[in-house]
Structure 1
Amino acid sequence: MREGATFVCFVPPRDAFGRVQPPRAATVDVVKRPLWRLLWNSKHDAVFDVSLAVGLYLMGQLLALLYPPPMPSDAFDWIGGVWLSQTINATLSALLIIRRRFPGVVLAASAAAAAGQAVMVEFGPGPLLENDLDTNPWGPGVTPFVIYAVVVYGTGGRVKTFLHWALIGVLAFVAFRPWTFPGPDPIVGALFWTIVPAILGLYMAARRKLMNALQERAERAEREQELLAEQARADERARLAVEMHDVVTHRISLMVLQAGALGVASDDPAVRRAAEELRSGGSEALAELRDLVGVLRRGEEAEPGRSDGPPERVPDLAALISQSEAIGVPVEFVVRGDPDLVTPAVARTAYRVVQEALTNVHKHAPGASVRVSAVYGDDRLRLTIRNSGPSGPAELADSGAGVGLRGLRQRVELVGGSFRAEPSGGGFEVEAILPGYVPTEEVADA
């Protein structure tokens, strides 16, 4: 059941279970990502690519100062100086920053610069790039890194892959310059400038695919191990359920039958009343055991749904609370929603949670006031038992075995719920959130 809430300052409304309710007007939350995430998968990649771009540009400037290329002094007079070459080299170095996300863009820019160098030297007024026109490859200085990047990081269909290799072919063709019949030195330089980076990129790409396949295989094996372990646990639960049904149910059934026979045969009203109480308690124990065994034996194939048969008798929380009030414990009982929304297995689990919590109050907090809240929703039940601090000595504090709350947690988690027990405001609070429906297999009586 949902509670209405008045809120201001855009505080989202919540229902009785603490769940945030969506606003009536649909809104779309924009997830903000760091800017570097648009280009790199990690900060290490970002630092490496930025350092590579800056380092290559600075190295090119340093080599130009230390070893000036033997080019004619008037080679760049048509454009007014070498500023165009420096601009192209700086731009291509900066494009290395996006080589992981957009390797095709960097490759296209490098191929365009290399093709423009060849056309301008052979048919135009002069070169675009400042290098040795006789011995050096005519491609930009970033060519090896661009070819490696597009082979390793380039993705897409057949058309995109074909386009990438066509652009690599353009770079290799310009680097080799077959129309000029250069000597062996330019050929060796062009080989290491274009072919070797492509081969190295193919090797690294194949290695990455192999590593990804091995990682996927390891993850799949781990998932299979988890499934096998879960299946083993399910088989063990089913075996325990069969043993519980065969042994415990048979003994309790005999006890119920004997109590019924004693009530019929005896003429003493006190004996008949005690026998009836014993028979009633045994019948309730059988019902709870049947639900517990059904939970243990339920399979993943059980379809969620509610039974269409007559409802089973479940313990009444009001009767349980009245028992505590009868011995002088003030209990405030608050119920919201329809108790018929939950199945008997859930109702019995809730009964045990309240029973154990009240028992702990009797033992450890004499004179304390208690508030029991039960909120029944469409798909879950929320129980809250909160007591104040004790007003007298706890004489029965050492009478328990110390496993009550632990057993409650296990029982709640068995039906798929959550459990919390902790001190609160000088007293103690127990909270259990149970699913409204728990599928159980029908267990035949012995």
Structure 2
Amino acid sequence: MSAFDVGLIIALVLLNVVVAVWNGSGSEGHTDCGPWAGLALQILVLLTLLVRRRRPLMVLTVALAASVTMTVSVWLAPGLLVTSVDGAGVWVPLAAPFAAYSAVVYSSRPRVAWVLTGLLTLVATRLWELSFAVAASGVLLTAVPGLLGMYVGARRGLIAALTERAERAEREQFLLAERARAEERVRLAGEMHDVVTHRVSLMVLQAGALRVSSSDEVVRAEAEVLRAAGCQALEELRDVVGVLRSPESLEALESAELVMPNAGDGVGAAGGAQAEGLRLSVLVEESRAVGVDVEFTETGDPSEWSPVVARTAYRVVQEALTNVRKHAPGSSVRVEVRHGSGEVRLRVANSAAAGSVDTELASSGSGSGLKGLGQRVELVGGTFESGPVPGGGFYVESVLPAERRTDVS
């Protein structure tokens, strides 16, 4: 029910009251009830307009029943419901045009609405009396509102269809663009896997062969360094390929043999999550070696980490410590790693910088490290936060599931 309906009903009730008072002051009307019985019937039909949008067929049925009752009353009790019984008037309630319009526009059964409108028009025009004035007035009050309602309903349907078609076309265009981007990402991932991995794997094998065949300890040590660096590069390449591909393909990447198996290798895939957990302490030691005051605490068992989650945790700590060295020289850092039930929480927070910032070092890089880090964390189903801390400094915090969630979209 809208304010328009309420205002319409009030206006029509006032109009009926004025007509009833006018007729009551004259000689027309039934000797006992005068025009008041007709006024009561008109108001009753008008009140049904309150539900004309929700129950349009009921409103039209009530209007039709009132029209039939008014017509019959002219013959059985002249002046009771219709004061003008000279045959020139239209014997329908004032709510009839609005009932016909609402039935055609809002009803879910248009055929029933048109049948009831046709019956109402037949009663209003009184074709059995063959009066042009009555027929014209009846069509104007019943059939014309129905035709207007049909036009409005058709226009609304057309607008809805065009809107739905435009939205569907926009969705299809978005899906096509997403599909094209996904195909391009997969193609790039395939190129990186086929070309770069092949060459780096050859380097790893050659370094391993040099370590075994050389009799010089210095050469053997350098070969081991090269082999370890190559294995780490392959592992990082696998992470990049996993980001480029769809989340569903990460399951296959975890089992893919991108890295050559090396027994006892602490940085290869055989090291697993425990090796990744150990490498966090290596990151801390590397920062301490260049003069950064780092406090490292780890609680819980890291053996539950999946390889992808472990590498993501490593990247979080690595990026945070790198940013500290670049943007907050002389600050103290606290690295916290807490393993809980089914999740691992990482937090790296540093105090305000105590030394002067090297602008050349601080300006190096793409400036999107934290953004990319957040995307990597979301890819495995985790949460990522970063921002300044009170009193100066910065923090990076992430909560990762122990096992990568497979429903990440």
TM category, shorter: 0.7 to 0.9
Contact 2:326-2:358 at 8 Å conserved across structures: yes
Cα distance in 1, alignment partners of residues 122 and 8 from structure 2:
26
Cα distance in 1, alignment partners of residues 170 and 86 from structure 2:
59
Q: Which ranges of structure 1 fall in alignment gaps of 5 or more residues?
A: 1-38, 40-45, 440-446
Out of 267-276 and 241-250, give the one that drifted further: 267-276
Cα distance in 2, alignment partners of residues 433 and 302 from structure 1:
19
> Does the C-alpha gap of structure 1 residues 333 and 98 become closer, same or farther in structure 2, counting only changes over 3 Å?
farther
> Displacement of 1:96 after TM fit?
2.7
The one of 55, 60, 68 equivalent to 1:102 is 55
SS in 2 for 1:389: coil
The one of 326, 331, 352 equivalent to 1:363 is 326
Q: Which ranges of structure 2 fall in alignment gaps of 5 or more residues?
A: 258-268
> Does the C-alpha gap of structure 1 residues 140 and 282 become closer, same or farther in structure 2, counting only changes over 3 Å?
same
Contact 2:292-2:325 at 8 Å conserved across structures: no
> Does the C-alpha gap of structure 1 residues 341 and 118 become closer, same or farther in structure 2, counting only changes over 3 Å?
farther
Mapping for residues 180-259 of structure 1, pairs under 5 Å: 181-259=129-207
The one of 309, 313, 327 equivalent to 2:272 is 313
Mapping for residues 148-159 of structure 1, pairs under 5 Å: 148-156=101-109
Q: Name the counterpart of 1:280.
A: 228
Contact 2:182-2:246 at 8 Å conserved across structures: no
Cα distance in 2, alignment partners of residues 195 and 245 from structure 1:
74
Cα deviation digits, residues 243-267 of structure 1 (max 9, x gap)? 2223322332233233323323444
Contact 2:117-2:143 at 8 Å conserved across structures: no
The one of 117, 123, 127 equivalent to 1:174 is 123
Q: Percent identity?
A: 41
Q: Name the counterpart of 2:393.
A: 427
State how many pairs are aligned: 384
Cα distance in 2, alignment partners of residues 132 and 373 from structure 1:
95
Contact 1:325-1:331 at 8 Å conserved across structures: no
Q: Name the counterpart of 1:413.
A: 375
- Greater C-alpha Rg: 2
Cα deviation digits, residues 141-189 of structure 1 (max 9, x gap)? 1211111111111125xxxx5554443244223212234x141100000
> Displacement of 1:308 after TM fit?
12
Contact 1:343-1:437 at 8 Å conserved across structures: yes
Q: Name the counterpart of 1:49.
A: 5
Contact 1:343-1:438 at 8 Å conserved across structures: no
Contact 1:339-1:376 at 8 Å conserved across structures: no
Cα distance in 2, alignment partners of residues 74 and 63 from structure 1:
12
AA aligned to 1:343 is: S
* Structure (1/2) with the larger helix percentage: 2
Cα distance in 1, alignment partners of residues 340 and 84 from structure 2:
81
AA aligned to 2:394 is: F
AA aligned to 1:54 is: I
Contact 2:45-2:66 at 8 Å conserved across structures: no
Cα distance in 2, alignment partners of residues 364 and 299 from structure 1:
33
> Does the C-alpha gap of structure 1 residues 361 and 407 become closer, same or farther in structure 2, counting only changes over 3 Å?
closer
TM (normalized to structure 2)? 0.79
Cα deviation digits, residues 213-272 of structure 1 (max 9, x gap)? 222111111111111101110111022112222332233223323332332344444443
> Displacement of 1:331 after TM fit?
2.3
Q: Name the counterpart of 2:404.
A: 437
> Displacement of 1:340 after TM fit?
4.8
> Does the C-alpha gap of structure 1 residues 140 and 304 become closer, same or farther in structure 2, counting only changes over 3 Å?
farther
SS in 2 for 1:370: strand
Aligned-residue RMSD, C-alpha: 3.6
AA aligned to 1:437 is: R
Mapping for residues 321-360 of structure 1, pairs under 5 Å: 321-324=284-287, 327=291, 329-335=293-299, 339-360=302-323
> Displacement of 1:396 after TM fit?
4.1
Cα distance in 1, alignment partners of residues 214 and 54 from structure 2:
89
Mapping for residues 106-145 of structure 1, pairs under 5 Å: 106-124=59-77, 126-129=79-82, 134-145=87-98
> Displacement of 1:200 after TM fit?
1.9
Q: Name the counterpart of 2:348.
A: 385
Task: For CA contacts below 8 A with separation 6 or more, give which structure has more relative contact order.
Answer: 1
> Does the C-alpha gap of structure 1 residues 395 and 217 become closer, same or farther in structure 2, counting only changes over 3 Å?
closer
Cα distance in 2, alignment partners of residues 118 and 312 from structure 1:
96
